Amino acid sequence: MKDATRLTRLGRPHDDRGLVNPSIERGSTILAPSAAQLYNFPEGRPHYGRVGLESQRSLRAALCELQGGAGCALTCSGMMANTLSILTAVTAGGRVLVSDSVYGPVRGFVLNTLPRYGVTATFYDPHIGPEIEGLMTDDVQAILLESPGSLTMELQDVPMIAEIARRKGVISIIDDTWSAGLTFKPLQMGVDLAVQALTKHAGGHSDVMMGAVVARDEVMADRLREMERGLGIVTAPDDSYLILRGLRTLELRMQRAAQSSLRIADWLSSRSEIGSILHPAHPSHPDHQLFKRDFTGSCGLFSVTFREWNNKHSIRFLDSLDLFGLGFSWGGFESLAIHCDPQLKRSTSRRRHPGALIRFSIGLEDADDLITDISQALDKMSD
């Protein structure tokens, strides 16, 4: 069964009631049938609302099935999903290896919060290749990947790094929000924990925030579940339902956004203002061969460098856009754009971009209309 079909079926009741969607159950207290069962609830029956009711259970099951995982934790944001995955993997005295292209708030967490609990971080170039093994010393407990990288869109050789990590006894974690677990399957490539900001593609309508961590095997799933419950993490039933509803159209929306983004990227590549197109699915991307090997499709998120621009140019360009909103999220129905340089932090990456970096998130608008909007904004730059 292909994912496009699977998305219409996963997380559904499939019982004799005939409902095609799970119920939204709101509750905190769950009464035990007897005193003897207060501490011994029947298998599969929740004992307290914090552990999740029907919509949360259905969403967990759906994400596990889509990604081929053994267990899933839900969080109230993608950032919390990242921190949960890291805390699941590390203990005091350990160290994490972090891709230099990792999401900015995660960078802040490993630099500012983890050291308070005796865990340190070392950043590595996302294009390091097999040399990553030399960094996996005895104190390294986890490695954080993000492919494509946040803002600058570097791809990593995920299967190779996952295999080295497993051989060295290091837990591998990846932020897989860009593919939504649909066009890329990191767990099937050996990664231990796959993180996703469900706020983005899975939600799809810019009206709900949630995250998820999916574990590859039962051992890691038990470890993840213990940390999730130990931290008291809880998600709302209505939010879980909205994410599950968003999954039904995930493939269609991502396919539409991907097609539009490539068309826009092709058009931008002909403009004299452009330095480079940082879209993994575009043939000009330096890691395009990795993309063709590991991914079955792309999405609407990509970045562009502009020759000889500075931050003032970027601000003027963004303020000239009409259809593009200016906002930090992505993966919704609406197109967005941001200038990246004010938040861009790198420690070890070898590649540098000339000029200014702009990130586009392409939504469901007509591609011609978006091209017209970018064109008129660029024309104003020469006025």
* Catalytic machinery residues: 50, 103, 175, 200
Which amino acid, residue 346? R
Q: What is the SS3 assignment for 33?
A: coil
User: Could you give the CA distance from residue 374 to residue 381 in angstroms, rounded to a whole number?
Assistant: 11
Q: At what angle do helices 237-248 and 250-269 cross, to 10 degrees?
A: 60
Integer angstrom CA distances of residue 361 from 82, 320, 335, 337: 21, 17, 5, 6
- The phi and psi torsions of 100 (rounded to 5 degrees) equal -65, -15
Strands (E), 221-293: 274-278
Q: At what angle do helices 311-320 and 367-381 cross, to 10 degrees?
A: 130
Helical (H) or strand (E) element with 317:
helix 311-320
Those residues with Cβ within 8 angstroms of residue 264's Cβ, 6 or more apart along the chain or in another chain: 360, 362, 367, 370, 371, 374
User: Could you give the CA distance from residue 254 to residue 265 in angstroms, rounded to a whole number?
Assistant: 16
